[in-house]
Amino acid sequence: MKRTSLALLAAALAVLSPSAPAVTVGVSMALFDDNFLTAVRASMKERAEQLNVPLQFEDAENDIGRQLNQIQNFIALHVDAIIVNPVDTDATPRMTRLVTAAGIPLVYVNRMPADKQLPPHVSFVGSDETQSGTLEMAEVCRLLGGKGDIVVLMGELTNQSARQRTEDIRQVLARPACHGIRVLDQQSANWKRTEAADLVTNWLSAGLRPAAVVANDDEMAIGAIQALKRARVLGSTIVAGIDATPDALAEMKAGGLRVTVFQNAPAQGRGALDTALQLIRHEQVPSLVWVPFELVTRDNLASYLGRH
């Protein structure tokens, strides 16, 4: 579907009938072509339709320069609020300065901003990443009985979630019960299924035989499963991910994925829009709006099917 340009949006808003909503929200997503972020965007869109609030979605295509331009365009259009899923969380202090200087409420969603403290009229809606990798690695440690070799697939290193999830793994490995686990290697596959498959294939070709592959997200975990299947060693390898995406849950149901962590994309999408509307109405909103992570295994899989 062809996306409406910002200029066309402005023209459309000018001719809305008096009964049309008085509130408009601009949304810049890091990347449309991402399964989890697609679920966040879909839930935001569904919530907006329920409330009859027009949204303008823009795809930053993983380009921080493009995202900054989108934010500046939203400011020029005088939207009532801006929601940002940041490409690079290290760039959020600049985004925050731009938007707050324009007097527009700002909501970051899913990816934790790097700002040391969020100013008034700015909030983050998402999940506490200190829980995600911790839940994942603790379950892998339990399944391994506290000993064995692992490899770690990291997300984009510019992303706070990737850095925190990897740090979570390190913190769990420091526990006495997990001291027998050794990290053979850890590298970034940039949240990509194909890059993860290639990386795991390279590890196997180099002679690495990990007892577990611990990935920062499900897309990379699925890539690992594909590589392990081709090498015919999936049956002896535990694969873990994070997000509990529909594809990941299907892999778990099929027996390939052993561990994931449910990150509630619908709650994040709805929460981001609801928070933006509260800020527009000058209501009191916490600077951090948490959506809890939940461990998913084969034992409780049935209760998570279809939740995205």
Residue 93: which residues within 8 A CB-CB, separation 6 or more? 113, 114, 115
Q: 107, 275 in Cβ contact below 8 A?
A: yes
- Please tell me which residue, 239 or 36, carries the higher pLDDT value: 239
Q: Supply the pLDDT for residue 188.
A: 98
Cβ neighbours for 43, distance < 8 A, ≥ 6 positions apart: 265, 266, 267, 268, 269, 270
pLDDT in tens, 39-48: 999 999 999 9
Superfamily of domain 6-127+264-291: Response regulator (3.40.50.2300)
Q: Per-residue confidence at 10, pLDDT binned at 50, 70, 90? A: very low
Tens digits of residue pLDDT in 198-216: 999 999 999 999 999 999 9
Whether 263 contacts 293, CB under 8 Å = yes
Average the pLDDT over 210-227 and give the result.
98
Tens of pLDDT along 109-120? 999 999 989 999
Statement: residue 6 has pLDDT above 90: no
Tokens of 67: 């995202």
Query: Of 115 and 158, which is predicted with more confidence?
Result: 115
How far is 23 from 9, CA to CA, in rounded Å? 13
Answer yes or no: same fold for 6-127+264-291 and 129-262: yes
* Degrees to nearest 5, angle at CA 202 with 220 and 148: 75
Compute the average pLDDT of residues 238-260. 96
What residues does each domain of the chain span? 6-127+264-291, 129-262
For the chain, give the mean pLDDT: 92
CA atoms of 111 and 131, how far apart (whole Å): 14
Q: Which two tokens stand for residue 71?
A: 């934010």
Instruction: Kindly state which CATH superfamily the domain 129-262 is placed in.
Output: Response regulator (3.40.50.2300)
